[in-house]
Structure 1
Amino acid sequence: MTRRLVLLALVLSIASCGSVDVTHYADQQPALNLERFFSKPVKAWGMFQKRSGEVAKRFEVDIVSRRVGNNLILDERFLYSDGTRQRRVWTLTPEGQGRWSGRADDVVGVAKGEIAGNALRWRYRLNLPVDGTTYEMSMDDWMYLMDEDTLINRTSMSKLGVEVGQVTLFFRRQGAGETH
């Protein structure tokens, strides 16, 4: 009986370790506006770290966007440190009150996002190819607008509820800092 109580207490304590709600950042400035941020071409630099902290892969991303009706289309072109390339095209749809949905070919179902203040939280499942095998990963993205031209992203990747690694990504709007 004591063993069951200890196990129950452990499970409850782990379950109560939920993450911060995006509304916690509602008063943070500058306020993130996806259409405005992606109104110029964007360059991004990132890395994937294994759970141990080892950097397993570095990459660069070029992003161009366009509007199609109510949707924001983000065309991402990845170049990885091992020379491989990848393309992901997101179709983002505003759902009202800071909520967004997103679709891409390697995203399982629909990504759900919410913006408050300078922060955006995306949650989705991604089919991730690794060494000839595709794994379905749960992605928990947090993006923070630092200034009008700089966005920082931190993503926790997990499989079956266990974190397998993290992605850190820095976005910079092209032409940033130039006078108009």
Structure 2
Amino acid sequence: MAALLKSRYLTPILLLILLFMSGCSGPAINDYAGQEPELVPSEFFQGELSARGVVKDRSGKVIRHFDATIDASWDANGVGTLDEVFEYSDGETDTRVWTLEPRQGGYHATAGDVTEPGSMEFEGNAIHMNYVLEVPYGDSTINVRMDDWMYRVTENTVINETEMTYWGVKVGEIVLVIQKQP
């Protein structure tokens, strides 16, 4: 009988612990208020930029690397376009064109393979984006949540870290450096 009670209560207790732990959040964008150099999307993402980075699996092992170019522009209404072209070490190429529309506290971010539009907030030297990206998987695709943090470390350099999760489970990570071109 004691074993039955233990197993009967163990599952709900473990679920509550997992729920509590998943509610613990990481940094908030306002944690970076006042940090410099300031990272304002419409100022940093202007003209030609280049990026170089790695894709890691869920264990942290680098599974491929890439180079990217970004052609960034803004219209008179403050709407930004980031045209990204990625060239991966395995020969794959990929293009993503972001549209950033001004919203209260940041931007509304959309792209062709973004199935759940994102929000982009910025404060101090940081940008935070959260969105769902359609990613090829086998003969199909899956929707992966992207938790994207960018930090401006010099006038011409941003470091970008993205955690990828599927149903709340970490499946990978992307780390890259973005450079403004002179």
Work out the number of aligned pairs and report it.
Answer: 174
Distance (whole Å) between structure 2 residues aligned to residue 122 and residue 48 of structure 1: 18
Distance (whole Å) between structure 2 residues aligned to residue 129 and residue 9 of structure 1: 33
Distance (whole Å) between structure 1 residues aligned to residue 128 and residue 154 of structure 2: 18
CA-CA distance at 1:36 after TM superposition = 1.2
Runs (5+) with no aligned partner, structure 2: none
Deviations 1:147-171 (A, max 9, x none): 1100000000000000001000100
Matches within 5 A, 1:147-166: 147-166=154-173
Q: Which of 131, 150, 163 in structure 2 is aligned with 1:143?
A: 150
CA contact (8 A) 2:55 2:62 kept: yes
Runs (5+) with no aligned partner, structure 1: 176-180
CA-CA distance at 1:30 after TM superposition = 1.1
- Aligned-residue identity in percent: 36
Q: TM-score, normalised by structure 1?
A: 0.90
Distance (whole Å) between structure 2 residues aligned to residue 115 and residue 57 of structure 1: 29
CA-CA distance at 1:65 after TM superposition = 1.4
Give the aligned residue type for 1:156: E
Matches within 5 A, 1:8-157: 9-70=16-77, 71-97=79-105, 99-157=106-164
Greater fraction of residues in helix: 2
**SS of residue paired to 1:41:** strand
CA contact (8 A) 2:116 2:133 kept: no
Give the aligned partner of residue 178 of structure 1.
Answer: none
**SS of residue paired to 1:63:** strand
CA-atom RMSD in angstroms = 1.6
Give the aligned residue type for 1:159: Y
CA-CA distance at 1:12 after TM superposition = 4.5
CA-CA distance at 1:4 after TM superposition = 5.5
Give the aligned residue type for 2:87: L
CA-CA distance at 1:113 after TM superposition = 1.2
CA contact (8 A) 2:47 2:73 kept: no
CA-CA distance at 1:51 after TM superposition = 1.0
Q: TM-score, normalised by structure 2?
A: 0.89
**SS of residue paired to 2:43:** helix
Distance (whole Å) between structure 2 residues aligned to residue 6 and residue 123 of structure 1: 30
